[in-house]
Structure formats: structure tokens, C-alpha cells
Amino acid sequence: MSDTGVDEVRLAAWMDGEGLASGPIEGAARLSGGTQNILVRFSRAGRSYVLRRPPATTIANGDETMRREARVLAAIAHTDVPHARLIAACGDPAVIGAAFYLMEPVEGFNPTVAMPELHSGDREIRRQMGLELVDAIGKLGRLDAVALGLGDFGKTEDFLVRQPQRWKRQLDGYATFNGWPGPDQLPGVDAVGAWLNQNCPSSFTPGIMHGDYHLANVMYRNDGPQIAAIVDWELATLGDPLIDLGWLLATWPDLGLDPAKLPVKPWDGFPTADTLVERYSQSTPRDLSQLLWYKVLACYKLAILLEGTHARAAAGKADVATGRMLHDQAVFLFRRAQQWLETDS
């Protein structure tokens, strides 16, 4: 096995069986762009591929995650949703040690890493980049999941009702980490959770949702503001697509954010959150009257996920500096949720 984490000999043999060219695998190299799953770009017989698999130390359900990712990419292959095109998938972990799939390489960039001169030098392009972000997730939410064969891709019964309960159980579970100071360090955690339970929308229209939609999970084209691909589909499911919009808004910088903490530089030119909502509303039949609930839920869920690293760090199971940084982000998210609730009241 090479230092890419992939057994190239076994991979080549599997590709032979799939009729994917022939000959040696060349130029295999790990790609950045993920904290857990492994991405390897390589070529074979003049064609380029990107392989995605779980980490060598497999996370829980890593193989099933790969199978689900491949399934959703296959389902949206002929839609207008921007994504990396699926080439082939292998759900059998015996082949290279984990389930994996092959996809077409995406030529583009992620703005949270760096922006080309074309984009960094033009405010109008940056405005369009923000609008493209909601346009892409709007396209995903409008797909007919049943027609695409994804009618069983998630459990939609009581989907929204289960959300705050699910994440409250996650937070309670952190009590097993010795040294964690507890949930009282998160401002308004109980009040926010109670509000979510009391104000849950009574109905929704099921659709495909990405599950982790924000600026770091898209790639833009190098020659303009269009999105080349939505990436990292590991949390995709059948649920309420408005959760994706709420997640985007919860992670969207506002004018009061410390410029040093902006995820993208330069930021001027990018639309406001209100502009993103207006753009989304123009192309969806979905009812946005309870969008506040989705925004607050996103803050609640993301903050609890981030606090998990802080809890593990307190028990010596994660980097302490990272844990503190993510705890600060969790506090920010709860304060943002509280501010939204106070403004709406």
C-alpha cells in the first residue's frame, strides 16, 4: 500500500473488472479538503480519477457513509445540481480495506482556502458567488427524490420533531468525558432547546438535503462565479431541504463579525443573509414563514457538534487548543441564536 492509504494493485484489479481502462495507476497523490475521509487523485490510461474512502482508522459507519454518498451522486447524475460526476462505486470493503467510489476530478477552488485574482478583484463576481450558493441548494431541494430512486433515503416521519431531541441527547452524552465543564458553559442552551421543541413546524415537504451546506463545502469555477460542484455529501439524506438553508444562514458572516475571523477574504461584495433568503424565495414553492426555526436549529445542532470536540479535549482525547477554539465557536452560535430570538420577539 502506498502512502496514499490505497492499495493501488488491488484497486487496479478491481478497475479491470469494472472495465475502467487498463494499465498501472499513475501519479497517485492525496488531496486536501477534508478532515476525515481520504481523497486520492490518480490517472490510468490517460484518464484522471478521484477516489474517496473513509480514513484508515475507520470512523463509525464509514463504509455505509461511502455507499450512501455514491448512491446520492448516482441519483443526481443527470440533474442540474453541480457535483462531481460519479464514475463507479465499490461497497465491498474487502477490495481495498474500505468501501469507496471513483469520481471525476473537479477543476475549481474553495473560497475559504484562497480565491483567484479574478474573484478576489471583482465585487460583482463575489456577489454572484453568494447568489450561486443559494441557487445550487435550491436546485437540490427541488429534485423529486422518489423519481430519482431516493424515496427510502431517509426517514421523514416526525423528521423535524426528532431534530432538537436528537441533538439534546448528543449533548447529554458528553457528560461521560471527565473534565468537561458541562452544558452550562453554553449560553441559553436550555432555553434555545425548549424554544425549538415548542415552535417546531407542523409539516414540511420532504426532499433531498445535503446536511452540511456552507461555503467550505462547495467549489467554484476558476473562470467565473458559478459553482463547479457541491462536495462532501456524507450527511446527505431525505429530509427537509430548508434545514440546508438554515445551516447556510447560521454559518454566514454578518457585518458585526471580527474581520480577522472572516472565512473568506475579501468579503465585501458577498450578499447579506437577507439577500440570500430573498434569492432562495424566488425559486422555491416552500413556505419560508418559519425560517427562524431552521436558523436556530442550525445554530443549536452545529454548536453541539463543535462542543463535542471541547468535551473530548477536556478528557485528553483531542487537542486542547482546538477544543477551546471550537467551544468559542459554539458559544458564538448560541449567542447568535439568542439574538435572533430576541429580535423576532
- What does the alpha-carbon distance between residue 154 and residue 149 come to, in Å, rounded to a whole number? 12
| Domain membership flag for residue 302 | yes
Residues 76 and 216 occupy one common structural domain: no
pLDDT at 142 (0 to 100): 96
| Domain membership flag for residue 3 | no
User: Which amino acid is located at 258 in the chain?
Assistant: D
User: Of 103, 138, 165, which residue is a domain's last?
Assistant: 103
Alpha-carbon dihedral sign for residues 109, 112, 114, 119 = positive
Residues 234 and 316 occupy one common structural domain: yes
Q: Note the pLDDT tens digit of each residue in 184-230.
A: 999 999 999 999 999 999 999 999 999 999 999 999 999 999 999 99
- Helix (H) / strand (E) element for 341: namely helix 320-344
| Domain membership flag for residue 112 | no
CATH value at residue 46: 3.30.200.20
User: Which amino acid is located at 335 in the chain?
Assistant: R
Show the cell assigned to 172: 447529554
Residues 180 and 54 occupy one common structural domain: no
CATH value at residue 295: 3.90.1200.10
- What does the alpha-carbon distance between residue 259 and residue 105 come to, in Å, rounded to a whole number? 33
Average pLDDT, stretch 32-59? 84
Residues 89 and 132 occupy one common structural domain: no
Domain that holds residue 58: 8-103
pTM of the full structure: 0.93
Instruction: List the beta strands (DSSP E) in the chain.
Output: 26-30, 38-44, 47-53, 86-90, 100-103, 207-209, 218-220, 227-230, 237-239
Half-sphere exposure of 194 (CA within 13 A, CB side): 5
Give the DSSP letter string of 137-196.
HHHHHHS-TTTTT-TTSS--TTHHHHHHHHHHHHHHHGGGSTT---GGGSTTHHHHHHHH
Average pLDDT, stretch 315-332? 94
Q: Note the pLDDT tens digit of each residue in 115-158.
A: 999 999 999 999 999 999 999 999 999 999 999 999 999 999 99
Residues 147 and 286 occupy one common structural domain: yes
Q: Coil, strand, or helix at residue 220? A: strand
pLDDT at 201 (0 to 100): 96
| Domain membership flag for residue 149 | yes
Residues 18 and 129 occupy one common structural domain: no
Give the lowest-confidence range in 35-39, 98-102, 267-271, 302-306: 35-39
Residues 90 and 159 occupy one common structural domain: no
- What does the alpha-carbon distance between residue 273 and residue 41 come to, in Å, rounded to a whole number? 35
Residues 64 and 126 occupy one common structural domain: no
Number of domains, the chain: 2
pLDDT at 55 (0 to 100): 83
- Helix (H) / strand (E) element for 71: namely helix 62-75
User: Of 80, 103, 126, which residue is a domain's last?
Assistant: 103
Alpha-carbon dihedral sign for residues 338, 340, 342, 345 = negative
Does residue 345 have a pLDDT over 70?
Answer: no
Show the cell assigned to 324: 477551546
Q: In what order do the strands lie in the sheet with 47-53?
A: 26-30, 38-44, 47-53, 100-103, 86-90
